[in-house]
């Protein structure tokens, strides 16, 4: 089985080309591929399948040729992955599965259609506008923090740290405790602290994330969108552009009246052959 490895600000993925949807991708196989010692290693898997050939993509087949079948490293799947979508588009273009054009490239996802533009080393994807819908708490390392529940296609809880807590000091080796009645399907939890002003954007936030299904990662694109939306709300603005620094690098998020653009580097680093029988059972 052929694979490519790619990442967006350190959020890394095993990319599996499967145009006709012939691959029997199971939670066990995804977890084995993502195993960092016995597999290829990754925060998740991106299966590249024609929208017409995937049951969850077929409804969008008239609008997008390709469906991003995203799975978390524990074998669960998610509605959306912002960095995944950016890396997916880089893969489509570098392999010739899609042709660069002046128009934005549509990609089908479980959360609907996203559109991408490539700007040199950066890939930007346009997703739905984040929706702030509730408040909830997360408990980490004995501290309970109140934050905003945000829907970016997938669920997020954004908690700003008080000045007494340092972002780098948080123990994210285990999942923060959250109220399962607010997040019945689990949640990605972002912790934030303000950054110094960055020229060209309206604000700057630093974040770390504990992802549903993948533990702490170096970056989360939908998480950055959720964080930007909360920062804009807190500043009293409806729209704007925020710089969001993650442990793996820098993302830029522009929230408009209807949508949200996520922009940052997306890189393919290797291509190879997987020896299926050698993967952990």
Ligand X SMILES: N[C@@H](CCC[C@H](N)C(=O)O)C(=O)O
- Contacting residue, 48, 78, 160, 226, with ligand X by CB under 6 A: 78
Judge whether 196 is annotated as a binding position.
no
- Whole-angstrom CA distances from 144 to 20, 70, 214, 226 are 47, 31, 22, 20
Cα radius of gyration rounded to whole Å, the chain: 18
CB of 94 to ligand X, least distance (A): 19
Which of positions 171-190 make contact with ligand X (CB under 6 A)? 188
- Whole-angstrom CA distances from 217 to 19, 73, 119, 134 are 28, 11, 25, 24
Considering only the stretches 34-42, 80-88, 98-106, 176-184, report the one whose residues sit in contact with ligand X under the rule CB under 6 A: 80-88
- Residue whose C-alpha is closest to residue 173's, from 215, 213, 227, 139: 215
- Contacting residue, 4, 72, 243, 263, with ligand X by CB under 6 A: 72
CB of 80 to ligand X, least distance (A): 6
Which of positions 118-177 make contact with ligand X (CB under 6 A)? 154
Per the residue annotation, which of 81, 159, 225, 260 is the catalytic one?
A: 81
Judge whether 212 is annotated as a binding position.
yes
- Contacting residue, 222, 241, 254, 263, with ligand X by CB under 6 A: 222
Q: Is residue 81 annotated as a catalytic residue, yes or no?
A: yes
The answer to whether 45 and 87 have CB atoms below 8 angstroms apart is: no
The answer to whether 88 and 6 have CB atoms below 8 angstroms apart is: no
Question: What gap in Å lies between CA 263 and CA 124, rounded to an integer?
Answer: 4
Judge whether 142 is annotated as a binding position.
no
- Residue whose C-alpha is closest to residue 251's, from 157, 162, 125, 160: 125
- Whole-angstrom CA distances from 261 to 72, 87, 174, 195, 228 are 22, 15, 30, 20, 11
Question: What gap in Å lies between CA 215 and CA 202, rounded to an integer?
Answer: 30
* Residue 221 found at the interface with ligand X (CB under 6 A): yes
- Contacting residue, 14, 81, 105, 140, with ligand X by CB under 6 A: 81
* Residue 220 found at the interface with ligand X (CB under 6 A): yes
> Residue ranges for the binding site?
11, 72, 82-83, 154, 188, 211-212, 221-222
Question: So which residues are the catalytic ones?
Answer: 81, 220
Contacts with ligand X by CB under 6 A lie at: 11, 72, 78, 81-84, 154, 188, 211-214, 217, 220-222
Known binding-site residue numbers for substrate: 11, 72, 82-83, 154, 188, 211-212, 221-222
């Amino acid at each position: 089985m052929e694979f490519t490895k790619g990442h967006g600000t350190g959020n890394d993925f095993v990319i599996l080309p499967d145009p006709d949807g012939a691959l029997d991708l199971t939670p066990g196989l995804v977890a084995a591929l993502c195993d960092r010692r016995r597999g290829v290693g990754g925060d998740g898997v991106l299966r590249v399948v024609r929208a017409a050939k995937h049951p969850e993509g077929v409804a969008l087949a008239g609008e997008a040729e390709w469906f991003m079948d995203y799975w978390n490293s524990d074998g669960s799947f998610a509605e959306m992955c912002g960095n995944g979508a950016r890396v997916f588009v880089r893969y489509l273009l570098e392999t010739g599965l899609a042709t660069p054009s002046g128009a934005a490239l549509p990609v089908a996802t479980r959360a609907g259609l996203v559109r991408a533009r490539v700007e040199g080393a950066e890939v930007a994807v346009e997703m739905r506008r984040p929706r702030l819908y509730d408040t909830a708490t997360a408990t980490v390392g004995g501290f309970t923090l109140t934050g905003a529940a945000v829907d970016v296609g997938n669920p997020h809880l954004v908690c700003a740290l008080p000045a007494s807590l340092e972002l780098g000091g948080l123990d994210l080796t285990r999942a923060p405790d959250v109220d399962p009645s607010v997040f019945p399907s689990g949640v990605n939890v972002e912790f934030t602290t303000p950054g110094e002003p960055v020229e060209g954007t309206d604000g700057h936030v630093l974040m770390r994330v504990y992802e549903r299904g993948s533990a702490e990662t170096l970056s989360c694109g939908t998480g950055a969108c959720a964080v930007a939306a909360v920062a804009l709300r807190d500043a009293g603005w409806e729209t704007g552009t925020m710089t969001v620094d993650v442990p793996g690098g820098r993302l830029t998020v522009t929230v408009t009246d209807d949508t949200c653009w996520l922009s940052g580097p997306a890189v393919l680093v290797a291509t190879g052959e997987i020896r299926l029988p050698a993967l952990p059972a």
